[in-house]
């Protein structure tokens, strides 16, 4: 059977699906981006990225000129695609348990348009065992593969071609077809079993989250003892390779790290005490920062400015950003809070210059590179848990 599209990506306008689709189109694949939310469709079809993804826009414009990018919200359109990639996540509920039924419901919705000649790939992190349930739902005749994404937010275009791609599946044919497809955009392929691939994805994000928790705990201990943590961290790392890559303190947030850590915790029936401790430490950072400030300053009626509302440096994604938790807690203390961000487009935010002029107390919420070079007047009080002054040196 001859298909209209080489690749259909469900969740195709999101942070995972859109960069992947652009890279496939750059390899001359005819790509269908399928998404329930088409608010960014017109923007993308004009060659404009709806979010920060470094290096993507020029490739997008080239793909559009070649008529290789198509966008729809119609599920039945996947009938016309040879390869179908699901870039949908597994959210967690208010009790921090994975909403596995929600993931399976989406698969079920599309299953009626899938046939045995197509390759089905699950791309997002999932609760271990879900792929096996999807395989049961679709049936043994369907070629199903699990190929988790491994990119850092905002740098998918740069990383996809440099990082090895993990490929697993429920049949030799599914594994072979998925490997050949990802060879188009990946540096190398690592073949493994589905369960190992599911766990490797969750372990990777949980390990990063735990590392952030460790350094944040050290930050708290150091401050409680009246010591500068970054000075101690420098001592630990100087000419000592075993500590290379140890992160600085800061807000550990975003749509993946906490969610995947909690999925892993749920897998062990909440007996994963390390994961629980990491969450307690990282989620406490905004509150701890306020406690530090209150030791020296009254917050009631204080004019406080937060520089950076994104969940990490140099991107515009605010999902699960702890800067918002910080803002909420500051307001609860009676502070008058204003926000600024170089990348997030929000009419309520003011420029960094206005924020510095307005504020008595300034807090770095996200360590955007541009904040390394700003001058803070001596009559202002700066709280910088990220230690941008070290990066500036």
Residue 374 contacts residue 356 (beta carbons within 8 Å): yes
- What is the H or E stretch that residue 64 is in? helix 56-65
- What is the H or E stretch that residue 347 is in? none
pLDDT in tens, 150-162: 999 999 999 999 9
Residue 364 contacts residue 249 (beta carbons within 8 Å): no
Is residue 393's pLDDT more than 50?
no
Read off the pLDDT of each residue in 203-222 and give the average, rounded to a whole number: 97
Residue 71 contacts residue 35 (beta carbons within 8 Å): yes
Is residue 49's pLDDT more than 90?
yes
**H runs (alpha helix) in 164-272:** 172-182, 194-224, 229-237, 257-267
Provide the whole-model pTM. 0.93
DSSP string of 274-323, one letter each residue = HHHHHHHHHHHHHHHHHHHHHTTS--TT-EEEEE--SSSTT----TT-HH
DSSP designation for 191: E
pLDDT in tens, 246-298: 999 999 999 899 999 999 888 888 778 999 999 999 999 999 999 999 999 99
How far apart CA 182 and CA 93 sit, in angstroms, is 32
- Per DSSP, what are the bridge partners of residue 33? 9, 71
How large a percentage of the chain has pLDDT more than 90? 89
Any long-range contacts for 341-344 (C-beta under 8 Å, 24+ apart)? Answer: 341/307, 341/308, 341/309, 341/310, 341/316, 341/366, 341/368, 342/308, 342/368, 342/370, 343/52, 343/310, 343/314, 343/315, 343/316, 343/368, 344/309, 344/310, 344/316, 344/318
Provide the residue ranges of all domains of the chain, joining segments of one domain with +. Answer: 5-192, 200-392
Q: Is 33 left (phi over 0), alpha (psi -120 to 50) or beta?
A: beta
- What is the H or E stretch that residue 37 is in? none
Give the pLDDT score at 271. Answer: 78
Is CATH 2.40.10.170 correct for 200-392?
no
Q: Which residue is it, tokens 């975003």?
A: 254
Q: Residue 144's closest CA among 124, 169, 176?
A: 169
Question: How far does Cα 241 stand from its chain's mean position?
Answer: 28
Give the pLDDT score at 97. Answer: 82
- Per DSSP, what are the bridge partners of residue 162? none
pLDDT in tens, 121-159: 999 889 999 999 999 999 999 999 999 999 999 999 999
Intrachain domains 5-192 and 200-392 with the same fold: yes
pLDDT in tens, 74-104: 999 999 999 999 999 887 887 778 888 999 9
The correct CATH number of 5-192 out of 3.40.50.720, 3.40.50.280, 3.30.450.20, 3.30.479.30 is 3.40.50.720
């Amino acid at each position: 059977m001859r298909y209209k599209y080489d690749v259909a990506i469900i969740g195709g306008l999101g942070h995972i699906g859109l960069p992947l689709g652009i890279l496939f189109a750059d390899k001359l694949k005819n790509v269908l981006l399928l998404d329930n939310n088409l608010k960014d469709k017109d923007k993308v079809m004009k060659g404009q990225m709806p979010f920060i993804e470094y290096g993507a826009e020029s490739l997008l414009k080239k793909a559009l000129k070649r008529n290789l990018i198509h966008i729809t919200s119609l599920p039945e359109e996947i009938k016309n695609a040879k390869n179908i990639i699901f870039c949908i996540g597994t959210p967690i509920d208010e009790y921090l348990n994975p909403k596995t039924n929600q993931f399976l419901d989406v698969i079920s919705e599309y299953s009626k348009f899938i046939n045995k000649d197509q390759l089905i790939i699950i791309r997002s992190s999932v609760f271990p065992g879900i792929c096996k349930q999807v395989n049961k739902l679709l049936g043994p005749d369907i070629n199903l593969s699990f190929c988790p994404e491994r990119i850092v937010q905002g740098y998918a275009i740069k990383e996809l071609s440099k990082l090895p791609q993990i490929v697993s599946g429920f049949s030799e044919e599914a594994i072979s077809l998925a490997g050949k497809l990802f060879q188009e955009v990946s540096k190398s392929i690592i073949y493994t079993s589905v369960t190992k691939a599911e766990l490797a994805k969750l372990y990777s994000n949980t390990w990063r989250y735990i590392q952030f928790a460790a350094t944040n705990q050290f930050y708290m201990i150091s401050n409680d003892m009246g010591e500068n943590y970054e000075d101690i961290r420098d001592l630990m790392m100087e000419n000592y390779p075993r500590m290379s890559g140890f992160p600085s303190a800061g807000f550990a947030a975003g749509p993946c790290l906490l969610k995947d850590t909690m999925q892993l915790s749920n897998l062990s029936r909440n007996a994963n005490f390390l994961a629980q401790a990491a969450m307690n430490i990282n989620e406490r950072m905004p509150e701890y920062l306020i406690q530090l400030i209150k030791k020296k300053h009254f917050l009631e009626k204080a004019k406080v400015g937060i520089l950076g509302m994104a969940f990490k440096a140099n991107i515009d994604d605010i999902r699960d950003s702890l800067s918002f938790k910080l803002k909420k807690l500051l307001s609860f203390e009676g502070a008058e809070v204003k926000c600024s961000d170089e990348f997030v487009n929000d009419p309520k935010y003011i420029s960094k210059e206005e924020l510095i002029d307005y504020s008595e107390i300034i807090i770095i919420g996200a360590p955007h590179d541009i904040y390394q070079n700003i001058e803070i007047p001596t009559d202002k009080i700066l709280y910088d848990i990220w230690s941008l002054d070290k990066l500036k040196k």
